[in-house]
Amino acid sequence: MPDRIDAAFDGGPKAPALSELCLDLLDRQRRSWSDLRDGYAGLDAARTREIAAGGYSVKLQFNPRRIVSATAAVDAESIRRRKCFLCTGSLPEEQRRILYRSAYLILCNPAPIFPRHFTVSNRRHVPQAIENNLSVFLRLAGDFGPGWTVFYNGPRCGASAPDHLHFQAAPAGFMPVEDDIVKEKNRIPVGRTGDAAVLASIGLGRPVLVVEGGERKGVEGALRTVISVLREFRAAPEEPMMNILCSHDGAQWRLLLFPRSRHRPEAYYREGDNRVLISPGAADMGGLIITAVEKDFHAVDAAQVERIFREVSMGGDEFARLLSALPERLRA
């Protein structure tokens, strides 16, 4: 296939499983692409530890290769001056691709934080934005199927390429919130629209909205309503700050939306040894907190985790008002 495309997935009845195509690509790329091989060697050497914090837990991962992502300059001027590393012309010669539904390229992530970590990048250089791409986001989760999670980082809260639309995919179960959110104590019913239910969780150190349902269009409509109300609360035309996890268990979709208020916590901007180089994206909000500096891996404690979540998430009072506003809008 041209343009270093090794395989294509169109969703047709004779199409091979998307996850199998991706795992085959990863296996071959680990043998042929030294940067990817080094990335997974770094992940194999990464250390993890668990922190119990206020009724929930998180995992810290010490992964020095994530320093580039953690320190990425995402202001408009920096973005304007650099080449987009997700555009086809900028991809490494060794990096092969899967063409996904004619519009996206699935790539092995050379700085993984999961044992199988993929980037799903639009073939066109269009801005990171979710509302006009909700359908493909849900379809991507459905195509990966049970055992996988796809996720989205908003352009102002974790995306290191806010100028280029992309998602990521990884095996399910590595982010603690995926287990926490199925516990009844962490699920507050908010409302329904069609077969889609909207729930909330407030006991996990950061507010979480959950959308579940078996019909893609109904789930998409519920999520669109949630995002619309979030935008109204921010009284701003741009996309509300958020990270989203999405999975499909073979019967229904589950989306976890983390409403955000800030890109990085206060400690990120300190000087010297007081700086804590944690820049939360979807994985961090999901409870897998990535530390690229060893001192942070050892020093971060439960209080620091709670402070980071509190500083970058929507405030509790505002979230309560959001939950009060949503039921009527979901019925409309």
The pLDDT tens digits of the residues spanning 133-172 come to: 999 999 999 999 999 999 999 999 999 899 999 999 999 9
Q: Which residues pair with 200 in a beta bridge?
A: 188, 209
**How is residue 168 written in tokens?**
């990521």
Query: What pLDDT is stored for residue 234 in this prediction?
Result: 82
Query: What pLDDT is stored for residue 3 in this prediction?
Result: 65
Query: What pLDDT is stored for residue 2 in this prediction?
Result: 52
Query: What pLDDT is stored for residue 240 in this prediction?
Result: 96
What stretches in the chain show pLDDT beneath 50? 1
Neighbours of 69 (CB within 10 A): 19
Distance in angstroms (rounded) separating the CA atoms of residues 15 and 8: 9
**How is residue 16 written in tokens?**
């091979």
Q: What is the dihedral of CA 304, 288, 125, 229, to 10 degrees?
A: -70
Query: What pLDDT is stored for residue 1 in this prediction?
Result: 45
Exposure on the CB side of residue 272, measured as CA atoms within 13 A: 1
The architecture (CATH level 2) of 7-75+86-331 comes to 2-Layer Sandwich (3.30)
Query: What pLDDT is stored for residue 75 in this prediction?
Result: 78
